[in-house]
Structure 1
Amino acid sequence: MAVLKPEVKAFIVQAVACFDPPSTVVESVKTGFGVVVSRQQVEAHDPTKVSGRGLAERWKELFEETRKAFLEDTSAIGISHKAVRLRALNRMAAKAEGMGNMALAAQLMEQAAKECGDAFTNKVRKELSGPGGAPIPVANLSVDEWKGIAREVADEV
């Protein structure tokens, strides 16, 4: 097992705290630092795993701080934003349409409509209320009054 420099250890601890899988961290360390580490070595830097129980206190603190910040702030994750998702769906739909895959393009357009808040679905949302927005009184209605309300609602739909 290679002895790791503090900056490599910090990178591994932070990546694991952000729920990156060990195989992804191995590749990132190799690409970013030119150091080859094993998946087991990466897992040893995760204090939530049995293999990470002997991790130094400073790395445990870094892990906890990073994990807390990661879970509280989703703004750094592009796909968490509606605009980013819509742009990606737009690119995919255009590509699918260009390839002649109309079924996929239609599915992507439907997904985009859902992202926009059901703008193009045929869901009917109707709110019923009494005078001035008050609840409809139901306790003292006769059968004929119920039938009248039902006819009014049916006429509106």
Structure 2
Amino acid sequence: MVAVAKAGANKDCELRKILEEVSPKNFEKINKHLSAKDEEIARLRDEIRVMSAHWKIKTKELEQQLEKHRRADQELKKRVLKLEFCLQEARSQTRKLQRMGERRDKALKELRDQLAMKQQCGGGCTNDKQNFWESSGFKIVVSMSMLVLVVFAKR
């Protein structure tokens, strides 16, 4: 036990001697090293503040761009809906015009049939006084009025 205590005491003394020899030299080096690290930490903190401010500004810019794109998207959606409505209206008008054209064609066919009947009947069915409804002037006026109606309907 005494030997262990002496060995421990000798070790303790040796450690103290080493520390006393090394400490004054290392103390300056450690202080310089700590000062350099403190300066580096301060510089890094400043850089972090600058980067943080930079990223906050960038984030705000991106949020503004995002909001601008959202508004543009909404505006485009509204325009698409308007165009779809206009397309439906155009299709509806086209169907109406087709029906009017069919009616006009049917009326023209009837007039042609009547004219053909009249021409067939021309030799044996002559009337000195033609009926007002069968007169060529009336037929021309009716044809022109139908043409005018079709033109106005297309507009």
**TM above 0.5, one fold?**
no
1 or 2 for the larger relative contact order (CA 8 Å, sep ≥6)? Answer: 2
Give the TM-score category using the shorter length: under 0.3
Select the structure of larger CA radius of gyration: 2
TM-score (norm 2): 0.23
Structure richer in helix, relative to its length: 2
